């Protein structure tokens, strides 16, 4: 495929979009507390055709009843409900993205406890429609952090370096709750579906950029990302989270994640651009060598994180062989 085309979306209002269909892929588990707020925000979007496919992973609270209530109000053509595989959130999202009966222009991941801004999908579609037909493209954004009562408490980190495969190997810039992708990106994920990965959103970012697709990061916070005790993944935007990540690094968690992701990417190496094959091979070889060749090899691979602290952590992981 052609060389990667990487761009950052402008923070201005989007251009008008043509009529496009979007399928929202919502995973739920014990989500009764906040699910109604999320469903309301999804169906108040200012863009065209929206359908929702929900996969409930064995909830025994009122989650399923809430979904069925909205299905009764809006119709089965707007909301479909299935039972999840009950094998974790990654497997649940995978069961949705590769659902065989979806025919739509765009696909949007959704978590059960957030709130979407009304223009979330229209901004994404406007950006994705600038990409040539058939090229895998993925859109993601910054988030506004809210507490359990919906009050804004901050913003997720602002990433200013361009998204790329070299970045994706060591960091995910886009939370799945902000991601929207075109059909080519969705089809790519379904072709490369036989490996175990750390998370569905990181895998989408890695795979899309690996094959020369387009990654779009929009600094506009299109999602109100709710922080509460049952978050599967937190905001990573305070010192407690940073210290937790440092502890995970020292315990070898990041190295474990790198091993999982690189094994999965090996199965897709033949789809990568020649440039990204070089980056990938250099990274895989370097991370398993002794100190000096390891440092030199990782530097040559060109991998990077988005912030100064992130890159300092990356250097520490390389030196300590925790990457």
Q: How far is CA 86 from CA 42, 69, 131, in A?
A: 24, 23, 36
- Residue 283's H or E segment, with its range, is helix 274-286
C-alpha gyration radius of the chain: 19
Would you kindly state where each structural domain of the chain is located, as residue ranges?
7-226, 239-319
Kind of pairing between the strands at 106-110 and 49-56: unpaired
Task: Report the pLDDT averaged over residues 57-84.
Answer: 96
- CA–CA separation, 198 and 93 (whole Å): 12
pLDDT at 26: 98
Homologous superfamily of the 7-226 domain (CATH)? Spore Coat Polysaccharide Biosynthesis Protein SpsA; Chain A (3.90.550.10)
Weakest-pLDDT range from 54-58, 93-97, 252-256: 252-256
pTM for this model (two decimals): 0.90
DSSP conformation class of 99:
-
pLDDT at 32: 97
| 3-state secondary structure (DSSP) of residue 315 | helix
pLDDT at 216: 98
Taking the CA atoms of 196, 115, 237 and 107 in sequence, report the sign of the dihedral they define: positive
Task: Report the pLDDT averaged over residues 224-249.
Answer: 69
Instruction: Tell me the pLDDT band of 1, cut-offs 50, 70 and 90.
Output: very low
- Residue scoring higher pLDDT (5 or 194): 194
Weakest-pLDDT range from 43-57, 228-242, 300-314: 228-242
- Residue scoring higher pLDDT (239 or 133): 133
Q: Residue 152 pLDDT > 50, yes or no? A: yes
pLDDT at 79: 97
Q: Residue 132 pLDDT > 50, yes or no? A: yes
Closest to 216 in 3D by CA, of 163, 167, 276, 177: 163
Phi, psi of 233 (to 5 degrees): -135, 135
């Amino acid at each position: 495929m052609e060389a990667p085309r990487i761009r950052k979306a402008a923070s201005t209002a989007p251009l008008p979009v043509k009529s496009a269909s979007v399928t929202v892929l919502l995973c739920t588990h014990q989500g009764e507390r906040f699910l109604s707020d999320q469903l309301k925000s999804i169906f108040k979007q200012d863009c065209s055709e929206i359908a929702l496919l929900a996969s409930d992973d064995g909830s025994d609270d009122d989650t399923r009843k809430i979904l069925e209530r909205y299905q009764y109000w809006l119709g089965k053509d707007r909301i479909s409900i299935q039972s999840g595989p009950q094998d974790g959130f990654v497997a649940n999202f995978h069961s949705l993205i590769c659902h065989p009966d979806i025919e739509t222009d765009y696909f949007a991941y959704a978590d059960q406890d957030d709130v979407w801004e009304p223009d979330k999908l229209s901004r994404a579609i406007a950006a994705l429609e600038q990409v040539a037909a058939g090229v895998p493209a993925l859109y993601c954004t910054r988030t506004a952090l809210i507490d359990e009562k919906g009050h804004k408490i901050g913003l997720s980190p602002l990433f200013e370096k361009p998204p790329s495969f070299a970045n994706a190997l060591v960091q995910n810039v886009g939370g799945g709750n902000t991601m929207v992708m075109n059909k080519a990106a969705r089809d790519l994920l379904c072709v490369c579906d036989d490996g175990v990965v750390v998370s569905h959103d990181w895998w989408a970012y890695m795979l899309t950029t690996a094959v020369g697709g387009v990654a779009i990061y929009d600094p506009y916070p299109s999602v109100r990302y709710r922080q509460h005790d049952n978050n599967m993944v937190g905001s990573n935007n305070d010192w407690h989270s940073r210290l937790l990540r440092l502890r995970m690094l020292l315990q070898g968690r990041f190295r474990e994640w790198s091993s999982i992701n690189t094994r999965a990417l090996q199965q897709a190496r033949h789809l990568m651009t020649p440039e990204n094959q070089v980056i990938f091979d250099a990274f895989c070889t370097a991370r398993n060598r002794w100190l000096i060749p390891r440092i030199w090899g990782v530097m040559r691979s060109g991998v990077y994180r988005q912030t100064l602290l992130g890159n300092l952590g990356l250097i520490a992981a390389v030196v300590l062989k925790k990457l």
